[in-house]
Structure 1
Amino acid sequence: MDPKVFYSIKLISNPVKSEDGTFFQLNWIDFTSNSYSSSIYFKGKDVKRVTWGGKESQPLVKDGVLHYVKGGDKDTLMRSTLGEPEPVFSFDKIKKYLPYGKGFLFLGEERKGNSTPFEASSLKYKFDSRGLLRSRTSLYYFDGKETRTIMGGNYDVNDFDTDGRRVVASATMSNDDVSFQDVFEVDVGSSSFTKLTKGEGAVTAVALTKSGFAYLGHRKGLSPWARKDVIFEDGRVLTCGKYCGNSVVNDLFVKYGDKLVVDGGKVYSLGQDGPTVNVYSVEDGEKVTDVKGVVLDFDVKDGVEYVYSDPRKPSLMGGYDPNESVEGVIPDSFTKGIEGWVMKRDEKAPNVVFVHGGPHTAYGYMYYIEFNYLFQEGFNVIYTNPSGSQGYGEDFARAVVGKWCDIDFSELMSFVSSLGLKGKFHLTGGSYGGYFTNMALTKTDFFSSGIAERSISNLVSMCGTSDIGFWFNAIESGISDPWERESIGKLLEMSPIYHVKKVKTPLMLIHGEEDMRCPIEQAEQFFIALKMNGVDARLVRYPGDSHEHARRGKPLNMVDRLIRKSEWFKYH
């Protein structure tokens, strides 16, 4: 079946409740232009389209009037009244905006050309999906006439909130190299700011409440496995499920992020419990939604409106289903030491085993484009949440640190062998899942073939070529300085390239050429080593694609990728 059919879905995001209903953003792929499109819709008694350009996003209602961002050569904030929508202001890229005073505060990024020489002076000088950091995300204020910078420099402002008087923002100012984030009090008039948080850690969303500010994150330093909580200005640390926010990985081509919403003095957040994600009232400790699936986005205003996915449907909101003809396969759920799922066609059918990235993300009880495509192509699809996965407690997530493809390898192999399936098995995964695929094939000849995407083969070289490798590889390997002789030895021992002579299984390596998280040199090394050792290997390179090539890459590349994966598995 043509993979375009599976990518021809529509996805809901950015719900904004108003007095009469909910504005939201509807997203889809335009294969004619090989690009992504979105427009603003309104759900009241029925659903109607509000904008028609195909490049509109981020709806917001101010004083009963709809605002949204219109894409183009520059982003333009639009005001939509009963007549023709009117432009408010333009900026190269508008990432978030909120009304303030006579105008708007907004997160923006200037577009700068890439034809001139670039000089790096800090460890973090590039970032995946952004390229070389010639410009950063800053906080700006448009006062109704002109725009000025409020908070900006060689760091990123990643979120902000205002109640019309007070302004708080989170930024990587304290230690941009490793993206530590702090909350700052911002004085718009003087363009000055004061750090409010202590310690070091992550801040992925910030909000103002009646009693002060709150943020989603942690103060646990460099610990990618750390559970995130909602932390209040008065020191309270409250959790939502087993993990505040949403670490569930998906391939739904819309980037859903963490957020905090305040309504009636209460703070709301997403909370994850294993493979499910719901909305929580943080201070009450109550689950506001009860979805057997994954809530992806939400808004609260005299009640909650939320966007969610379950195995049957990619995108639902209330009674609205933009994909009425789509019916995903409901997997069988198993707990065999670890939690896992099987989309089963037949016990004699060939099997594809998936490994998620991170390693501290998780598979969710939701709709996956690739899983449903391969099921229709005749495969059983198997996926699990072994040790390292988020949503099962911090100890469970931390269990693979220094032991990648170790305990989780044993757990996965035990899970697969317990299923009683008779067909051949194939292994695949992306990022950490790509690393796991490479490493697993040095440990076993059980699989008939593998496909490693945006993978890792050499943890030493990745320390110098990845946007985060210099700290991430060290922390995840259980070392401090990656350039000490003993540390290099540990990194090599954990690297698939160090054990490549043991690989006999045919392997395809798929990579985006602009991947800065797991640079393509990782796939190149492993490919050359495999070929020199007589292993059936292929290297597929997608120009213009980053680490997100399988989720939000160029649409026609994503279609080509699914065809190649199916053909490779069928051939073997």
Structure 2
Amino acid sequence: MKATDLPLLKSVSAPTIDPTGARAVVAVTRPNLDADAYVGQLWSIATDGSTPPRRITRGMNDSAPRFSPDGALIGFLRREGDSPAQVYVMPAGGGEPVQVTDAPLGVGSFRWSPGSTRIAFVARVPEEGRYGTVKELGAGAEPPRHLTALKYRANGVGYISDRRNHVFLVDVPDPSEEPVYSPAPSAADPSPEMPKSVPEATHVTSGDFDHGPIEFSPDGTRLALVAARHATRDDDLVKNVFELDLTHPDAPLRDLTSVEDHLSVDALAYLPDGGLYLLASDIGEEGRDFVGRLGGLYRLGVGERPVRLTDPETVDLGEAGSSIVVLPDGSALVQKVTRGRLELHSVSPEGELAPVAAWDAEITGHAHAAGVTVVSFTAPETAGDVAVLRDGGSVVLTNFSAELLVAGIAPAIELEFEARDGYPLHGWLVLPRGEGPHPVLLNIHGGPFAQYTVSVFDEAQVYADAGYAVLMSNPRGSAGYGEAHGRSIRQAMGTLDMTDVLDFLEGALERHPELDDDRVGIMGGSYGGYLTAWTIAHDHRFAAAVVERGFLDPEAFVGTSDIGMYFGDEYTGVDPELVRKQSPQAVVDRVTTPTFVVHSEEDLRCPLPQAERYYAALKRQGTDAELLIFPGEDHELSRSGRPRHRVQRFDAILRWWARHLPVTRAIPTEVAHAADPA
């Protein structure tokens, strides 16, 4: 695929399934270059495959569908233009959607009550005088922010201390009722009051805290939610579970977990007996030790402390999955991260783990009703599709990536080697067309507790289409290989992880003669930007490098990054000398490799000064370097930035490689002109 094929990457939401199990609904979203936005609608899918999938909404960006428990309605989020997302409901059989919420900053997530009559939703509440609450008062004219906490910003959001996430309840309107009409003015009433067309929501949480996710109890009388409301919340990563008694709205939230449980909770689901399943990580007595910790399933019995059901050293049910479906027998369906895959497993109330769906894919969402289990997934041949699990296997029900397959997907070859110390290395090679020898791009993922996977990856595909062989490995520090693997670089960044990626490169060059070992480049983003910058200070074999949105200066990270108050402390430590021993900025004077620094102006995860200081040092010492800054983008540019910016980013990176690592040893005239900065 080419950069301009980005609109062919159709992503599929987690499915929702009607109570009979006969029909699933998903949102299908894609980049649109004409609109320079992400567009998508809801699709209905017969689980028996008897009829083709069909589009059932026509909004610009419809997402997060959920059947009401009685199956009569479908709720979803709709975003139109620059307006924030709101909850809409529509008859399950089809019809005009009706708007349910009118949250000033939009709705983040929602849940149906068991009786299908109410919806609970989470929305940011703007402080009065900010974010448009005062007409014609621009952001630059707002009063100053007086901050007393360390956690006050979030990448992709901005300031959060003056727009906390709170929980609301709203009655669901009947979509069959007659619409509300705007009254016309008259002589007697020249300015008639406009009737509300959206029901009034009730605010059910308060305070200077963020709340969510949320879940209704089976009888609908209680609402469980996740929040950090404890006194030390500014110094740790603990997120606890609370319960709200909906029959007594004035009753205080009841704590179901405590700081002493040392948990960071990401998802929850009620059991039939009123207990809860939690997806959570144990982050240690200090409440900050998150490095390489595996997410696990916990059972929280009524009046009991949470008990971990899955092994903390080998079973990872962490961030990539973050969803729980409770089956009638009380077991839970969860997603397990393992070796570049995301599998569906069941966990019994006693903690017995069993695979339900495991193939070369990532199960990105799942739903179950009336004995039918439906999953959304990505795989080597699709950016997103839907399958039903049947007779011990899976039957694919959709073909949303058909156009992508026509455009062309280069297959990924799975590789395994041994590191210099005998440790097993795992990853993939994507080869371009032709016999070679091909120039090689060593691509390093972010995280570091993340993983390259079996699924189609736009980065590798675009570079392979341009003629580059792309190497992607999961060195020590990555997710998917157990806790010891993930924690092995804690306060030792740039050690085993650097030698692992270099040993993976050496193994691939030795095994695959179609790779040109004289023409190798290195690149990566976020932590991948870190390890790229670190590696080129210690190994000078590379023709050029791309350092993108990098964690480059641990000392300057504190106080500027939204995660600065804990990330560097845990990954590089707090001893100044130890930190400098792991800092790319501290060894930038050793870099001779031509380096392209790419960053986003509104990146709050790895703030722009990380790139600017690194780039300035390169230029001042005479190293060939360039800096590319994207306006209006944050840390997620390469994944969810404006579609045109994503294409422009690919174009700029390919021009850099055409200049420093041409596909042929003699750069064609037209490519040379395209690479000319003028």
TM-score by length of 2: 0.79
- Note the alpha carbon deviations across 1:161-200, whole angstroms, 9 max, x for none: 1122332111122244344211112223225212211322
One-letter identity of the residue aligned with 1:96: S
Partner of 1:464: 559
Which of the pair is proportionally richer in strand? 1
Q: Secondary structure at the match of 1:466?
A: coil
One-letter identity of the residue aligned with 2:227: A
Q: What's the CA shift for 1:89? A: 3.1
1:326 aligns with 2:326: no
Partner of 1:285: 353
- Note the alpha carbon deviations across 1:27-77, whole angstroms, 9 max, x for none: 011212211112111012211111112222221112222222222435432
* Residue 163 (structure 2) aligned to one of 117, 135, 139: 135
Partner of 2:316: 244
Size of the aligned set, in residue pairs, is: 557
* Residue 337 (structure 2) aligned to one of 257, 266, 272: 272
**Are the structure 2 counterparts of residues 120 and 275 from structure 1 closer, same or farther at C-alpha, using a change threshold of 3 Å?**
same
Indicate the larger mover: 500-509 or 54-63. 54-63
**Are the structure 2 counterparts of residues 83 and 369 from structure 1 closer, same or farther at C-alpha, using a change threshold of 3 Å?**
closer
1:59 aligns with 2:65: yes
The 8 Å contact of residues 8 and 404 in structure 2, kept in 1 or not, is answered as no
Q: What's the CA shift for 1:139? A: 1.2
Partner of 1:555: 643
- Note the alpha carbon deviations across 1:509-534, whole angstroms, 9 max, x for none: 11110001100100000100000111
Alpha-carbon distance in structure 2 between the residues aligned to 1:427 and 1:52: 43
Q: What's the CA shift for 1:310? A: 1.4
Partner of 1:216: 279
* Residue 169 (structure 1) aligned to one of 197, 209, 225: 225
Partner of 1:344: 431
- Note the alpha carbon deviations across 1:386-414, whole angstroms, 9 max, x for none: 10011111011000011111111111111
Q: Secondary structure at the match of 1:551?
A: helix
**Are the structure 2 counterparts of residues 391 and 518 from structure 1 closer, same or farther at C-alpha, using a change threshold of 3 Å?**
same
The alignment-based identity, stated in percent, is 23
Partner of 1:192: 252
Partner of 1:512: 600
1:79 aligns with 2:89: yes
Partner of 1:251: none
Q: Please, what is the CA RMSD of the aligned residues?
A: 1.9
Q: Secondary structure at the match of 2:485?
A: helix
Q: What's the CA shift for 1:148? A: 2.2
Q: What's the CA shift for 1:289? A: 0.7
One-letter identity of the residue aligned with 2:53: V
Alpha-carbon distance in structure 1 between the residues aligned to 2:2 and 2:431: 21
1:387 aligns with 2:476: yes
Alpha-carbon distance in structure 2 between the residues aligned to 1:315 and 1:394: 29
Indicate the larger mover: 469-478 or 81-90. 81-90
- Note the alpha carbon deviations across 1:260-291, whole angstroms, 9 max, x for none: 11231331111112111111112141111122
Alpha-carbon distance in structure 2 between the residues aligned to 1:153 and 1:560: 43
1:299 aligns with 2:367: yes
Structure 2 matches for 1:390-405, cutoff 5 A? 390-405=479-494
Q: What's the CA shift for 1:551? A: 0.6
* Residue 326 (structure 2) aligned to one of 262, 275, 300: 262
Indicate the larger mover: 411-420 or 514-523. 411-420
* Residue 263 (structure 2) aligned to one of 172, 194, 201: 201
Indicate the larger mover: 396-405 or 228-237. 228-237
One-letter identity of the residue aligned with 2:167: L
Alpha-carbon distance in structure 2 between the residues aligned to 1:245 and 1:135: 30
1:491 aligns with 2:579: yes
One-letter identity of the residue aligned with 1:120: L
Alpha-carbon distance in structure 2 between the residues aligned to 1:76 and 1:522: 36
Partner of 1:483: none
The 8 Å contact of residues 312 and 329 in structure 1, kept in 2 or not, is answered as no
Partner of 2:531: 436
Alpha-carbon distance in structure 2 between the residues aligned to 1:55 and 1:378: 35
The 8 Å contact of residues 187 and 193 in structure 1, kept in 2 or not, is answered as yes
Alpha-carbon distance in structure 2 between the residues aligned to 1:191 and 1:377: 62
Q: Secondary structure at the match of 1:350?
A: strand
The 8 Å contact of residues 8 and 401 in structure 2, kept in 1 or not, is answered as no
* Residue 313 (structure 1) aligned to one of 369, 382, 396: 382
Q: What's the CA shift for 1:566? A: 1.3
Structure 2 matches for 1:10-21, cutoff 5 A? 10-18=10-18, 19=20, 20-21=22-23
Q: What's the CA shift for 1:258? A: 1.5
Alpha-carbon distance in structure 1 between the residues aligned to 2:436 and 2:10: 33
Partner of 1:106: 121
One-letter identity of the residue aligned with 1:70: R
Q: What's the CA shift for 1:78? A: 2.1
Q: What's the CA shift for 1:247? A: 5.2
Specify every segment of 5 or more residues in structure 2 that has no aligned partner in the other structure, as ranges.
132-138, 173-198, 388-396, 419-424, 661-678
One-letter identity of the residue aligned with 1:151: T
**Are the structure 2 counterparts of residues 43 and 444 from structure 1 closer, same or farther at C-alpha, using a change threshold of 3 Å?**
same
Partner of 1:422: 516
Partner of 2:195: none
Alpha-carbon distance in structure 2 between the residues aligned to 1:142 and 1:224: 39
* Residue 182 (structure 1) aligned to one of 221, 226, 240: 240
One-letter identity of the residue aligned with 2:327: D
Specify every segment of 5 or more residues in structure 1 that has no aligned partner in the other structure, as ranges.
249-256, 480-486
Q: Which has the larger radius of gyration?
A: 2
The 8 Å contact of residues 31 and 37 in structure 2, kept in 1 or not, is answered as yes
- Note the alpha carbon deviations across 1:87-108, whole angstroms, 9 max, x for none: 3332231122122364221111
TM-score by length of 1: 0.93
Partner of 2:294: 227
* Residue 626 (structure 2) aligned to one of 524, 538, 559: 538
Q: What's the CA shift for 1:236? A: 3.3
Q: What's the CA shift for 1:347? A: 4.9
Alpha-carbon distance in structure 2 between the residues aligned to 1:354 and 1:494: 20
Q: What's the CA shift for 1:298? A: 1.5
The 8 Å contact of residues 230 and 244 in structure 1, kept in 2 or not, is answered as no
The 8 Å contact of residues 438 and 467 in structure 2, kept in 1 or not, is answered as yes
* Residue 37 (structure 1) aligned to one of 12, 36, 39: 39
